[in-house]
Amino acid sequence: MSMPGNKLLIVDDDPGIRELLSDFASEIGFDVETAADAEQFLKCCRTFQPAVVIIDLVMPGADGIEILRSMAQRGSTAQVIVMSGLDEKVLKTAKRIGAHHGFTMLGALTKPIDLDVLERLLLGARRDDEPISEQTLGHAIENGELILHYQPKVRLAQDGSLPLDGVEALVRWQSPTMGLVSPARFIPVAEKCGLIGELTGAVFRMAADQAAAWKADGMPMSVAINLAPALLQDIGLPDRMAKELALRSLSGDSLVLEITESGTIDDGLHVTDVLTRFRLKGIGLSLDDFGTGFSSLVQLYRMPFSELKIDQSFVSRLDDDDEARIIVRSIVDLARNLGLSTCAEGVETAGGLAFLRHVGCDKIQGYLISKPLPAPDIADFISRWQRPETAGTMLASSA
């Protein structure tokens, strides 16, 4: 369920782009329709009445500028995002044309698409009629309204293969009144009102239960969850997590904790104590979104992380941005020299995969491999991914 104002229409002749944007927007609470050409677009405008439209400027039959003109002639009040693989001058001109027609121009997307930018634009367009309070979120945690989707990670093996290396658990809130709520909306509320510990505990227990179920079905794999830096002050947390794993007959290496670099990570005694004891129990520690925060090299050297996770804002630009390639290469070299592994998130193109393999990145995740999946779909993904002929088809269809 989405709010009445959260209807999104995607206009693009590329089915892969339509699927990528549709899946992503649905994850953050939009009701989505897609159109491959101007005829389908006009039909959707009449029957669907979108509040937000994403328009590819380069379209067969009628281009994006013609579609904007057509929307204006029909009195559309939709907010607009323009999209293209052309240079930024074209996008800026298209935005000015849209504004001249009276549209609220939310922004522009360049191809390949940066999902961080897409999320920011869409969240800015959302109309959330129901505010999230401490009481409603606490009720959601207590009554099991949180759900997990799992995004596969694969290893860049030296023989050129891409064996599965675990999954990342991504939390969503399936609200009975608001529909599927993005974590970008409720995580800040949890942090502000002191519910982040309860929320993380619920996510951890669900992920551990699922890891145990997969192990029982002959599919043992590690599961990564996000851990707010504020929780690193809890000196008893490593013991409690290790106990919960043991109750499910899971070892420490079944769990990876991803800690966001942009959060405040104090290198005081308590935090160092907690991080070290996680590692002593076999639990992996990944510094998430590396390159976007404020970690000093001294802090990175002192903290017992096992992995650096390269932020998708760099990874998404690998195909055509020299600066992004330099940064990613430098991060991989830094990690190797510090004895850390690397995982690149947000990998969406075959070119990005090839570059990451070339510079020696260890693992990747992203829509090129798979979107986040409900737990029941993971077994089917593994079955298809382990067959070389099927895995190749899956990669080709995602590229």
The answer, yes or no, to whether residue 393 has pLDDT greater than 80, is: no
Residues 364 and 263 in one domain: yes
Range in 21-30, 66-75, 257-266, 269-278 with the lowest mean pLDDT: 257-266
pLDDT average, residue stretch 257-280? 81
Instruction: Convert the chain into a string of H (helix), E (strand) and C (coil).
Output: CCCCCCEEEEECCCHHHHHHHHHHHHHCCCEEEEECCHHHHHHHHHHHCCCEEEEECCCCCCCHHHHHHHHHHCCCCCEEEEEECCCHHHHHHHHHHHHHCCCCEEEEEECCCCHHHHHHHHHHHCCCCCCCCHHHHHHHHHCCCEEEEEEEEEECCCCCCCCEEEEEEEEEEEECCCEEECHHHHHHHHHHHCCHHHHHHHHHHHHHHHHHHHHHCCCCCCEEEECCHHHHHCCCHHHHHHHHHHHCCCCHHHEEEEEECCCCCCCCHHHHHHHHHHHHCCCEEEEEEECCCCCCHHHHHHCCCCEEEECHHHHCCCCCCHHHHHHHHHHHHHHHHCCCEEEECCCCCHHHHHHHHHHCCCEECCCCCCCCEEHHHHHHHHHHHCCHHHHHHHHHHHC
Residues 82 and 217 in one domain: no
Q: How confident is the model at residue 320 (pLDDT cuts 50, 70, 90)?
A: confident
Residues 239 and 103 in one domain: no
pLDDT average, residue stretch 323-330? 94
The answer, yes or no, to whether residue 261 has pLDDT greater than 60, is: yes
pLDDT average, residue stretch 206-231? 96
Residues 285 and 378 in one domain: yes
Residues 169 and 295 in one domain: yes
pLDDT average, residue stretch 238-263? 92
The answer, yes or no, to whether residue 391 has pLDDT greater than 80, is: no
Q: Considering the chain, what percentage of its residues have pLDDT values greater than 90?
A: 63
Which of 106, 125, 144 delimits the end of a domain? Answer: 125
pLDDT per residue as tens digits for the range 143-175: 999 999 999 999 999 999 999 999 999 999 988
Residue 57, domain extent: 7-125
Residues 116 and 176 in one domain: no
- Residue 1 placed within a domain: no
pLDDT per residue as tens digits for the range 87-142: 888 999 999 999 999 999 999 998 888 887 898 888 878 766 567 899 999 999 99
Residues 146 and 37 in one domain: no
Which CATH number do you get for residue 74?
Answer: 3.40.50.2300
pLDDT average, residue stretch 56-82? 90
pTM of the model: 0.79
Residues 332 and 239 in one domain: yes
Structural domain count, the chain: 2
Residues 97 and 153 in one domain: no
Which of 125, 142, 162 delimits the end of a domain? Answer: 125
Which of 79, 94, 125 delimits the end of a domain? Answer: 125
Q: How confident is the model at residue 316 (pLDDT cuts 50, 70, 90)?
A: confident
- Residue 2 placed within a domain: no
Supply the mean pLDDT for the chain.
89
* Greater model confidence, 364 or 117: 364
Residues 365 and 266 in one domain: yes
pLDDT per residue as tens digits for the range 20-47: 999 889 888 789 999 998 889 888 888 8
The answer, yes or no, to whether residue 75 has pLDDT greater than 80, is: yes
